[in-house]
Amino acid sequence: MEMLSKHVYLDNAATTPMDPKVIEAMNQVMMEVYGNPSATHALGRKAKGVIESARKSIASLIGAQSKEIIFTSGGTEADNLAIRCAVRDLGIRSIITSPIEHKAVLSTSQEMESDAVSVHLVRVDDKGRVDYAHLNELAEAHPHSLISLMHANNEIGTLLDYHQVAEIASANNCLFHSDTVQTMGHYPIHVADFKADFLTCSAHKFCGPKGIGFLYVNSNLRIKPMITGGGQERSLRAGTENITGIMGLQKAMELCWENMDEEIQQITALKNYMRDKLLQEVPGIDVNGETDTNGSLYTVLSVSLPPTDHNDLLLFQLDMAGVCASGGSACNSGAAKGSHVLEAIGHPTDRQTIRFSFGRFSTREEVDIAVSAVKKILSVEQPV
């Protein structure tokens, strides 16, 4: 791919390049399936068939029922749907979340705060790990809350112990929502194991298209639509369906599940290779977040560079060297604002953080180029 040969792309937590097989499947739908899925004629029925078969396939991959999958425009909408509907339709009067959630959860929760709805932030430590004793205290003090905690943090990669959260939620009659945007497609997520009421997915994080995702909603819950209009998505999300995107989401998920074990091994090895290389070759560099492999998302490596007098320029210099990485989260990259995640874990402000993130198409060669670029920027002597 020309794009990949020109740039070293280590920003897969922001978004991934699409898998050519996904593009192929989408192209076919674009060429052949143009009927409106709500139309009753043959072409409409064909389009409806594509959507329902995608729903069935996606649901079966995560062990859900088809009716538990609501297609959305991506992760942000799915997070909004879960949180807003929990408050509006399910009698939730308090939300327990963490200060390191994605803004789609944090801002939406804050937006819900009112005289009637309280928001409580669970403590996290300096590696972004949830304080489960505190979570328990909060849940006991506020039974029947919505607990919204992300499976993996998009900036530092720290993973949630969702079994503990599900137990605490169940003991206190709470609902459990998990933003699984960074983990869906990367781990064999199964709803019977996760025991969450809501799970959020976004296709562009695992080689699918942008602008499509879904919310898994446990079938015991009755929510109403956030977007009203026609009766699409069993009246839970109005608007003519993004059939091409849905096809892309299905294909991307199927490819992930087919190759998951090999991909986990391959990408974990790449992350470890880069981590070790940076730690060996760049004095003063530190890894952010959980360092234990099992507690950390294998696609994300966040590091703190040693302080320099040109911290602000480091990411820009990396960009000039042809290396795409991120300073904070995707949504914040390009914005001068500091990261709320790094602030919440007490990250020193005199050090620049760079998030390298890996995907299906990442290579050792790319890692080597990126590490050389970091050394050059920091003026670290090349070994003789």
Per CB under 6 A, 202 contacts ligand PLP: yes
- Of the residues 85, 201, 256, 331, only one is catalytic, namely 331
Q: How far is CA 231 from CA 10, 217, 227, in A?
A: 41, 18, 10
Q: Which stretch binds ligand PLP (CB under 6 A): 75-83, 319-327, 354-362, 369-377?
A: 75-83
Site residues for ligand PLP, window 90-129 (CB under 6 A)? 102, 104
Q: Closest separation between CB of residue 100 and ligand PLP, Å? A: 10
Distance (Å, rounded) from C-alpha 37 to C-alpha 46?
7
- Least spacing, CB of residue 211 vs ligand PLP, in Å: 8
CB of 4 to ligand PLP, least distance (A): 21
Is residue 154 part of the contact set for ligand PLP (CB under 6 A)? yes
Nearer to ligand PLP, 179 or 290 (CB): 179
Q: Which stretch binds ligand PLP (CB under 6 A): 31-39, 72-80, 169-177, 217-225?
A: 72-80
Residue selected from 50, 112, 146, 181 as contacting ligand PLP according to rule CB under 6 A: 181
**Which one, 36 or 242, has the nearer CB to ligand PLP?**
242
Token code pair at residue 3: 């794009």
> Binding of ligand PLP at residue 157 (CB under 6 A)?
no
What span, in angstroms and rounded, lies between the C-alpha atoms of 106 and 97? Answer: 8
Nearest in space to 355 (alpha carbons), one of 157, 150, 102, 130:
157
Per-residue binder mask for ligand PLP (CB under 6 A), 318-347, x = binder: ------------xx----------------
Q: Does an H or E element contain 314, and which?
A: helix 314-320
Q: Is 201 a catalytic residue?
A: no
Q: How far is the CB of 181 from ligand PLP (least distance, A)?
A: 4
Q: How far is the CB of 280 from ligand PLP (least distance, A)?
A: 30
Question: Which element (helix H / strand E) includes 364?
Answer: helix 364-377
Q: How far is the CA of 289 from the CAs of 6, 83, 157, 293, in angstroms?
A: 30, 26, 7, 11
DSSP state of 124: B
> Are 86 and 224 contacting, i.e. CB atoms less than 8 angstroms apart?
no
C-alpha span between 81 and 214 (Å, rounded): 10
Of the pair 51, 330, the CB lying nearest ligand PLP is at 330
Which has the closest alpha carbon to 307: 273, 352, 261?
352
Instruction: Determine, following the binding rule CB under 6 A, whether residue 179 of this chain makes contact with ligand PLP.
Output: yes
- Where would I find the H helices in 19-92? 20-32, 42-61, 75-89
Of 350, 369, 355, residue with least CA distance to 312: 350
| 175-179 sheet: strands from edge to edge | 69-72, 213-217, 198-202, 175-179, 146-148, 94-97, 118-121
Report how many residues bind ligand PLP under the rule CB under 6 A: 15
Closest separation in Å from C-beta 208 to ligand PLP: 10
- Of the candidates 16, 178, 182, 302, which one interacts with ligand PLP according to CB under 6 A? 182
267/275 Cα distance (integer angstroms): 12
Nearer to ligand PLP, 98 or 362 (CB): 98
- Partners of 120 in the β-ladder: 96
Nearer to ligand PLP among residue 19 and residue 179 (C-beta): 179
Q: Which stretch binds ligand PLP (CB under 6 A): 177-185, 222-230, 297-305, 375-383?
A: 177-185
Q: How far is the CB of 323 from ligand PLP (least distance, A)?
A: 20
Stretch that binds ligand PLP, among 131-139, 174-182, 284-292, 309-317 (CB under 6 A): 174-182
CA atoms of 162 and 289, how far apart (whole Å): 17
Q: Which residues are catalytic?
A: 331
Binding positions for ligand PLP, rule: CB under 6 A: 74-76, 79, 102, 104, 150, 154, 179, 181-182, 202, 213, 330-331
